[in-house]
Amino acid sequence: MLLDANALRPKTITFVASLDPRMKKILTLLFTVFITAHHLQAQSTIPRYGLSDERDIYYVFTHADIWQDPKTLLKNATLVIKNDKIISIGINLVIPKGAVVYDLKGKMIYPSFIDAFSTYGLPEIRKERPGNRSPQYDTRTNGAYSWNQALKPEFDASRNFNADAKKAVELRKLGFGLTLSLQDDGIARGTAVVVALGEGKENELLVKDKAAAIYSFNKGTSTQDYPASLMGSIALLRQTYCDAKWYQQSKNKNIDISLESWISNQELTQIFDVNDVWSGLRADKIAKEFNVNYVIKGSGDEYKRIDEIKKTGDAYIIPVNYPKTLDVSNPYDAIDISLAELKQWEEAPSNGSVLEKAGIKFAFTTYGLKDKKDFLKNIQKAILYGLSKEAALSALTQTPASILKISDRVGSLKPGMLACFFISNKDVFDKENIILEQWILGKRYADKEYDLTDVRGRYKLSLDTLKGWDINISGEALTPEWQLMHDSTKVKVNFDRDGQQFTLRFEVKKGAGNYRLNGVLDANDKLTIAGDGQTPDGRWIQWKAIYATVFTETKKDSLKKDTIPVIGKVWYPDMAYGNTELPQVKSVLIKNSTVWTNEKEGILTNTDVLISKGKIQQIGKNIDANTSKIAGLEIIDGTGMHLTAGIIDEHSHIAIAGDVNEGTAAITSEVRIGDVIDPEDVNIYRQLAGGVTTSHLLHGSANPIGGQTALIKLRWGKSAEAMKFEGADPFIKFALGENVKQSNWGDNFSVRYPQTRMGVEQTYIDAFTRAREYDQSIQKSLAAKDKSTTETPRRNLQMEALAEILNKKRFITCHSYQQGEINMLMHVADTFGFKVNTFTHILEGYKVADKMKAHGAGGSTFSDWWGYKYEVMEAIPYNGAIMNRMGIITAFNSDDAEMARRLNQEAAKAVKYGGVSEEEALKFVTLNPAKLLHIDKRVGSIAVGKDADIVIWNDNPLSVYAHPIKTFVDGICYYDFTNDQQKRLQNESERQRIIKAMISAKEYGAPVDKPSMKIHELQHCNNREESPY
Amino acid sequence: MKKNILFAFTICCSLQIFAQNPIPAGKELKRVLLFGGMAHLGNGKVIETSAISLKDGKIVFVMDSRGFKPARDAYDTIIDLAGKHIYPGFIAMGTQIGLNEIELVRATNDFNETGQLNPSARAIIAYNTDSKVTPTVRTNGILTAQIAPLGGLLSGTSSVVSLDAWNWEDAAYKTDEGIWMNWPSMRIVRASWAGTEEEQQIRFEKSMKMLTQFFSDAKAYNDLGMPAIHNQHFESMKALFNGTKKLYVRVNLARDIIAAINFCKLNKVQMVLVGGEDSWRVTDILKANSISVIIMRTQALPLRDDDDVYASYKLPSVLKNAGIDFAITDDGYWKIRNLPFEAGMASGYGLSKEEALTAITLSPAKILGIDKTTGSLESGKDATLIVSTGDALDMRTNQIELAYILGKEIDLHNIQQQLYHKYMKKYGFE
A1014 touches chain B (CB under 8 A): yes
**Residue B164 structural domain:** 90-374
Residue B5 in any domain: the answer is no
C-alpha distance from A499 to closest chain B C-alpha (Å): 45
Query: What CATH number does residue B108 fall under?
Result: 3.20.20.140
pLDDT at A33 over 80: no
Encode A883-918: b = buried (16+ Cβ within 10 Å), e = exposed: bbbbebbbbbbbbbbbbbbbbbbbbbbbbbbbebeb
Tell me the chain B residues in contact with residue A917 when contact means C-beta distances shorter than 8 Å. none
Same-domain pairing of B168 and B229: yes
Q: What is the pLDDT of residue A450?
A: 67
State residue A597 phi and psi, 5-degree precision. -75, -30
Residue segments in chain B with a per-residue pLDDT below the cut of 50: 1-17
pLDDT confidence bin for A130, thresholds 50/70/90: low
**Alpha carbon distance A816, A734 (integer Å):** 9
Among candidates A336, A960, A984 on the partner chain, residue whose Cβ is nearest the Cβ of B304:
A336
Smallest Cβ–Cβ distance between B255 and the set A332, A868, A1022 belongs to A332
Q: In whole angstroms, how far apart are CA A130 and each of A135, B1, B199?
A: 11, 63, 16
CA separation for the pair B315, A840 (Å, rounded):
33
Distance from CA of A588 to the nearest CA of B (A): 25
Interacting residues of B153 by C-beta distance below 8 A, sequence separation 6+: B116, B117, B181, B182, B184, B207, B210, B211
Please indicate, yes or no, whether residues B166 and B202 belong to a single structural domain of this protein: yes
pLDDT, residue A452, reads 60
User: How many Cβ atoms from other residues are within 10 Å of residue B119's Cβ?
Assistant: 27
Tell me whether A885 touches chain B (CB under 8 Å). Answer: yes
Q: Does A960 touch chain B (CB under 8 A)?
A: yes
Residues 856-875 of A with CB under 8 A from B: 864, 866-870, 873-874
Q: How far is CA A558 from CA A431, A475, B256, in A?
A: 15, 16, 45
For A762, the 3-state DSSP assignment is: helix
| CA–CA dist B416, B20 (Å, integer) | 11
Phi and psi of B317, rounded to 5°? -70, -30
Predicted confidence (pLDDT) per residue in A746-791, tens digit = 888 999 999 999 999 999 999 999 999 999 999 999 998 877 777 8
- pTM assigned to the model: 0.92
Q: What amino acid is encoded at B15 in this protein? A: L
d(C-alpha A567, C-alpha A572), whole Å: 16
For chain A, the average pLDDT equals: 91
Please give the residue of chain B at the shortest CA–CA distance from A990: B306
Please tell me which residue, A711 or A557, carries the higher pLDDT value: A711
Q: Could you say which of B187, B398, B424 has the minimum Cβ distance to residue A882?
A: B424
Residue A4: per-residue pLDDT: 39
Which chain A residues touch B280 with a CB distance below 8 Å?
A: none
Minimum Cα–Cα distance from A879: chain B residue: B420
pLDDT confidence band for A10 (50 / 70 / 90): very low
Count Cβ neighbours within 10 Å for each residue of B160-191 and write b for 16 or more, e otherwise: bbbbbbeebeebbbbbbbbbbbbbbbbbbbee
CB contact under 8 A, B396 and A918: yes
Choose among B187, B395, B424: nearest Cβ to A909. B395
In a mutational test of the A interface, the residue from B189, B298, B414, B423 whose CB has the highest number of chain A CBs within 10 Å is: B423
**Which of B305, B416, B424 is nearest residue A575 as measured by Cβ atoms?**
B305
Chain B nearest CA to A1013, separation (Å): 4
- A899 Cβ under 8 Å from any chain B Cβ: yes
Per-residue pLDDT band for A561 (boundaries 50, 70, 90) equals low
Q: H or E element: which one contains B36? A: strand B32-40
In this structure, are B71 and B145 located in the same domain?
no
Q: Which chain A residue shows the shortest CA-CA distance from B191?
A: A1015
3-state secondary structure at position B354:
helix
| Burial of A717 from C-beta contacts in 10 A (0-12 / 13-18 / 19+) | buried
SS3 (DSSP) at B179? strand
Of A897, A909, A984, the CB nearest to B308: A984
A744 interfaces chain B, CB cutoff of 8 Å: yes
Would you say residue B12 lies in a domain? no
Contact between chains at B309 and A980 (C-beta distance less than 8 A): yes
Task: Please state whether beta strands A858-861 and A615-620 pair in parallel, antiparallel, or not at all (unpaired).
Answer: unpaired
B348: in domain? yes
Q: Does A877 touch chain B (CB under 8 A)?
A: yes
Per-residue pLDDT for A306 more than 70?
A: yes
Q: Is A30 or A533 the better-scoring residue by pLDDT?
A: A533
Class of domain A647-755+796-939: alpha beta
CA dihedral A783, A786, A788, A792 (to 10 degrees): -10
Q: Hey, what CATH class is A457-550 in?
A: mainly beta
Residues B121 and B154 in one domain: yes
Q: Give the domain CATH number at B56.
A: 2.30.40.10
Say if CB B287 and CB B323 are below 8 A apart: yes
Residue A974 C-alpha, separation from nearest chain B C-alpha, in angstroms: 14
**pLDDT digits over A801-826, tens only?**
999 999 999 999 999 999 999 999 99
A26 or A549, which is more confident: A549
Tell me how far apart the alpha carbons of residues B430 and A529 are, in angstroms, rounded to a whole number: 113
| Residue A424 CB neighbours (<10 A) | 22
Put simply, whether A851 touches B (Cβ < 8 Å) is no
* Helix, strand, coil content of chain A in percent (nearest 5): 30, 25, 45
Q: Give which of A129, A328, A332, A874 to mutate to test B binding, by max B Cβ within 10 Å.
A: A332
Rounded to a whole number, what is the distance in Å from the CA of A914 to chain B's nearest CA? Answer: 8
Residue B27: the pLDDT is 73
Q: Which of B349, B397, B429 sits opposite A885 (nearest CB)?
A: B429
Do B61 and B98 belong to one domain? no
What's the topology of domain A113-125+147-249+256-409? TIM Barrel (3.20.20)
Average pLDDT over residues A624-629: 79
Domain end position, chosen among B334, B351, B374? B374
B324 and B270 within one domain:
yes
Residue in chain B lying closest to A956 (CA): B396
CB contact at 8 A, B101 and B133 = yes
d(CA A679, CA A676): 9
Which band of pLDDT confidence, cut at 50, 70 and 90, is reported for residue A698? very high
Indicate the residue type of A83: N
A528 touching chain B per CB within 8 A: no
Q: What local confidence, expressed as pLDDT, does residue A551 receive?
A: 82
Is it the case that residue A1022 has pLDDT exceeding 70? no
**Mean pLDDT lowest among A628-637, A707-716, B294-303:** A628-637
| Chain B residues with CB-CB distance to A960 below 8 A | 341, 344-345, 347-348, 393-396
The pLDDT of A243-258, averaged and rounded, is 94
Domain boundaries, chain A: 113-125+147-249+256-409, 457-550, 647-755+796-939
**Distance between A150 CA and the closest CA of chain B, angstroms:** 21
Residue A759 is predicted with a pLDDT of 97
Q: Does A961 touch chain B (CB under 8 A)?
A: yes
pLDDT reported for residue A36 = 42
Assess whether B100 and B245 both reside in one domain: yes
**A647-755+796-939 has the same fold as A113-125+147-249+256-409:** yes
Asked if the model's pLDDT at residue A32 lies above 70, the reply is: no
pLDDT value, residue A464: 85
**B176 shares a domain with B65:** no
Q: Among candidates A1016, A948, A920, which has minimal Cα distance to A694?
A: A948
Residue A24 pLDDT exceeds 60 = no
For the CA atoms of B1, B7, B12, B14, what is the dihedral angle to 10 degrees? 170
Give how far B215 is from chain A: nearest CA, Å: 27
Which has more confidence, A1029 or A58?
A58
Chain segment A79-105, per-residue pLDDT in tens:
999 999 999 999 989 999 889 999 998
Contact A308, A282 (CB under 8 A): no
Give A583's DSSP letter.
-
Q: Are the Cβ atoms of B396 and A959 closer than 8 angstroms?
A: yes
- DSSP annotation of A441 reads T
Note the pLDDT tens digit of each residue in A183-207. 999 999 999 999 999 999 999 999 9
- Model pLDDT, residue A468: 87
The backbone region for B112, taken as left when phi is positive above 0, alpha when psi lies in -120 to 50, beta otherwise, is: beta
Rounded Cα–Cα distance for residues A699 and A235 (Å) = 14
> Which of chain A's residues have a Cβ under 8 Å away from the Cβ of B348?
955, 959-963
Q: Which of B304, B341, B412, B427 to mutate to test the interface with A (most CBs of A within 10 A)?
A: B304
CB A687 within 8 A of CB A695: yes
Of A958, A711, A742, A946, the closest CA to residue A838 belongs to A711
CA–CA distance from A651 to each of A26, A38, A695, A735, A859 (Å)? 77, 71, 7, 13, 11
CB nearest A873 (choices: B102, B300, B427):
B102
The overall longest dimension of chain A from CA atoms, in Å, is: 115
Distance from CA of B183 to the nearest CA of A (A): 17
HEC letters along A888-933: CCEEECCCCCCHHHHHHHHHHHHHHCCCCCHHHHHHCCCHHHHHHC
Which of B190, B281, B396 is nearest residue A1014 as measured by Cβ atoms? B190
Express each pLDDT in A888-912 by its tens digit: 999 999 999 999 999 999 999 999 9
Mark whether B66 and B150 lie in a shared domain: no
Q: Residues A498-556: pLDDT tens digits?
A: 777 889 999 988 888 899 999 888 766 667 888 999 999 889 999 988 888 888 776 55
Please judge whether A744 and B423 are an interchain contact, meaning their C-beta atoms are less than 8 angstroms apart. no
The number of domains in chain B is: 2
Residues B137 and B154 in one domain: yes
Collect all residues of chain B within an 8 Å Cβ-Cβ radius of residue A991: 306
Question: Residue A554: its pLDDT value, please?
Answer: 65
> Quick check: A689 and B345 CB within 8 A?
no
- Cβ-based burial of B224 (10 A; exposed 0-12, middle 13-18, buried ≥19): exposed
| B288 neighbors B339 (Cβ within 8 angstroms) | no
In a domain, B11, yes or no: no
Q: Is A1009 within 8 Å of chain B by CB?
A: no
What is the model's pLDDT at position B12? Answer: 42
| B345 and B206 share one domain | yes
Q: What is the pLDDT confidence band of residue A18, given thresholds at 50, 70 and 90?
A: very low
pLDDT at B243: 93
Confidence of residue A562 (pLDDT cuts 50, 70, 90): low
Q: Which amino acid is at A704?
A: P
| Contact by Cβ (8 Å): A292, A315 | no
A and B: number of Cβ contacts within 8 A: 160
Beta carbons within 8 Å of A859's beta carbon, 6+ residues apart: A838, A839, A842, A845, A849, A852, A879, A880, A883, A888, A889, A890, A891
Q: What is the pLDDT of residue A1017?
A: 65
**CA A89 to centroid of chain Cα atoms:** 39
Q: In the structure, what pLDDT confidence band is assigned to residue A572 with cuts at 50, 70 and 90?
A: very high
B72 and B94 inside one domain: no
In the predicted model, what is the mean pLDDT of residues A285-313?
97
